[in-house]
């Protein structure tokens, strides 16, 4: 048994996925082990493979067990075991491996009971190199049903073959003790039929959130904003599927569904999620055409300027009548300052991208320019970034002349 195994590389790099790399050239190397019963017709089926020490370390391989004398397997998963993250980055948990040599042909049931959400894989070991083992994935199992986190595998182990039985912890790096119950079945007793539930999520807006999907309130998996997870080996029945850990996002419709699992079928539960995303201002400019065309009071005429900003919004929430614009301003060099709000700016484009504009009446008096900083709120109330622009006083502005710089709406606010 190996206690400290943190590095897991080589051929198992995709061991938690649905595919598994098949390693290198076969170079058989064998050694002795426990003897089978000479009265057994399958006795003399050969000797188990000698597992290279490096592979034992990298895969937390335990002592060889023979099918003729195989009993329940008990141990525990701890942070000193092999780390799932080394196989599949981002997957939290640990695993151990049992080496089983079939010194006779048996149909075996492997049923995992543990303090954590577990998964099992049965691999056929076909040969070794100096440092590795050539394997083929025979079968894998996640859970017996939506109410039972224990994995279950039923398979015929052929005499003379070596197998690697792996048990994983899956949820949030959980650890604890486990027991793999072993039972034998006859050829006429096939394993019970099972089905699967596939959960898919599509997200509109912010795509950085990771959600949690739960089956019948007991089985949990992380799922990405546009991801898919599959719960397999489920007993046919009605299953409740719930999407949680949504943060500020909301599900279109309900975040809970009920689906029916059928034997040898995969049923899909789909969720559409809307995540609020702040709009982004991408550009800013000013436009003006006619000088001294807007009154700032009874005696002074300012000049109309259009403040035009380009925008993008992942949620498509920029809509006329629902989008607001804001600005802060300060005149230079006089320092006169203030702010303004525009409840109905003109939107040119769709909700996702385009331009937004609003007009202001500016009287410069003896100032040379004005600094304007602007930002917007989308329909959901999310505020954008701010952009700034300096507008010089146009030649010929401020007729007739007066006292005091001023910014106002057009017409005069």
Residues 159 and 101: beta-carbon distance below 8 Å: no
Q: Give the DSSP letter string of 22-81.
A: PPS-----B---PPPPTTSTTTT----B---HHHHHHHTB---EEGGG---EEEEE-TTS
Q: Which residue, chain included where needed, has tokens 């909700």?
A: 351
Q: Give the DSSP letter string of 112-172.
A: EEESS-EEEEEEEEEEE-SS-EEEEEEEEE--SBTTB---EEEEEEPTT-EEEEEEEE-ST
The pLDDT value recorded for residue 145 is: 54
CATH (residue range 195-275): 2.60.40.1120
Q: Please state, in angstroms and rounded to a whole number, the distance separating the CA atoms of residues 133 and 117.
A: 27
As beta bridge partners, residue 135 has 125
Token output for 302: 């300012």
CATH (residue range 10-185): 2.60.120
**Residue 245 Cα distances to 170, 271, 273, angstroms:** 18, 13, 12
Q: What residue ranges of the chain have pLDDT lower than 70?
A: 1-45, 87-88, 90, 143-149, 171-172, 186-191, 399-404, 408-413
Q: Please state, in angstroms and rounded to a whole number, the distance separating the CA atoms of residues 98 and 113.
A: 15
φ/ψ region of 253 (left if φ > 0, alpha if ψ in -120 to 50, else beta) reads: left
| Residue ranges matching CATH 2.60.120 in the chain | 10-185
**Is the peptide bond prior to 15 cis by the omega test (within 30 degrees of 0)?**
no
**Residue 307 Cα distances to 167, 328, 333, 369, angstroms:** 63, 12, 21, 15
Q: Which of 335, 339, 358, 359 has the alpha carbon at shortest distance from 348?
A: 358
The pLDDT value recorded for residue 340 is: 93
Residues 112 and 121: beta-carbon distance below 8 Å: no
The pLDDT value recorded for residue 31 is: 30
The Cβ of residue 244 has, within 10 Å, a number of other Cβ atoms equal to 12
Q: Which of 371, 309, 373 has the alpha carbon at shortest distance from 345?
A: 309
Q: Please state which architecture CATH assigns to domain 280-409.
A: Sandwich (2.60)
pLDDT in tens, 348-407: 999 899 999 999 999 988 899 999 999 999 988 889 999 999 999 998 887 556 666 777
pTM given for the model: 0.44
The pLDDT value recorded for residue 269 is: 96
The pLDDT value recorded for residue 117 is: 82
| Residue ranges matching CATH 2.60.40.1120 in the chain | 195-275
pLDDT in tens, 211-226: 999 998 888 999 999 9
């Amino acid at each position: 048994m190996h206690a400290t195994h943190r590095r897991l590389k080589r051929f198992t790099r995709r061991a938690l996925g649905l595919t598994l790399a098949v390693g290198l050239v076969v170079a058989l190397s064998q050694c002795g082990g426990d003897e089978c019963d000479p009265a057994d017709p399958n006795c003399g089926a050969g000797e188990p493979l000698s597992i290279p020490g490096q592979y034992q370390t990298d895969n937390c391989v335990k002592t060889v067990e023979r099918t003729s004398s195989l009993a329940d397997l008990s141990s525990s998963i701890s942070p000193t075991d092999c780390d799932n993250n080394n196989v599949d980055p981002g997957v939290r948990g640990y695993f151990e491996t049992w080496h089983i040599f079939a010194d006779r042909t048996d149909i075996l049931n492997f049923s995992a009971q543990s303090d954590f959400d577990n998964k099992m894989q049965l691999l056929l070991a076909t040969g070794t190199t100096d440092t590795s083992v050539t394997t083929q994935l025979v079968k894998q199992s996640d859970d017996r049903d939506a109410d039972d986190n224990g994995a279950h595998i039923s398979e015929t182990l052929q005499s003379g073959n070596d197998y690697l039985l792996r048990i994983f912890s899956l949820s949030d790096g959980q650890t604890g003790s486990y027991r793999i119950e072993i039972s034998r079945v006859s050829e006429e007793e096939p394993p019970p039929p099972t089905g699967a539930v596939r959960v898919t999520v599509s997200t509109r807006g912010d795509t950085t959130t990771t959600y949690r999907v739960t089956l019948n309130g007991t089985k949990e998996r992380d799922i990405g904003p546009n991801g898919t997870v599959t719960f397999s080996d489920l007993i046919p029945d009605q299953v409740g599927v719930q999407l949680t850990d949504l943060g500020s996002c909301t599900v279109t419709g309900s975040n809970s569904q009920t689906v029916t699992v059928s034997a040898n079928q995969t049923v899909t539960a789909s969720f559409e999620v809307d995540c609020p995303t702040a709009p982004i201002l991408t550009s800013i400019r000013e436009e003006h055409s006619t000088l001294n065309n807007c009154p700032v009071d009874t005696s002074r005429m300012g000049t109309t300027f259009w403040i035009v900003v380009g925008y993008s919004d992942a949620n498509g929430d920029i809509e006329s009548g629902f989008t607001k614009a804001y600005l802060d301003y300060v005149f230079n060099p006089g320092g006169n300052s203030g702010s303004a709000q525009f409840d109905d700016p003109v939107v040119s484009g769709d909700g996702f991208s385009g331009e937004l504009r609003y007009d202001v009446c500016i009287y410069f008096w003896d100032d040379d320019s004005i600094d304007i900083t602007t930002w917007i709120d989308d329909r959901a109330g999310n505020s954008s970034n701010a952009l700034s622009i300096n507008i010089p006083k146009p030649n010929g502005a401020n007729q007739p002349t007066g006292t005091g710089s001023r910014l106002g709406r057009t017409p005069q606010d």
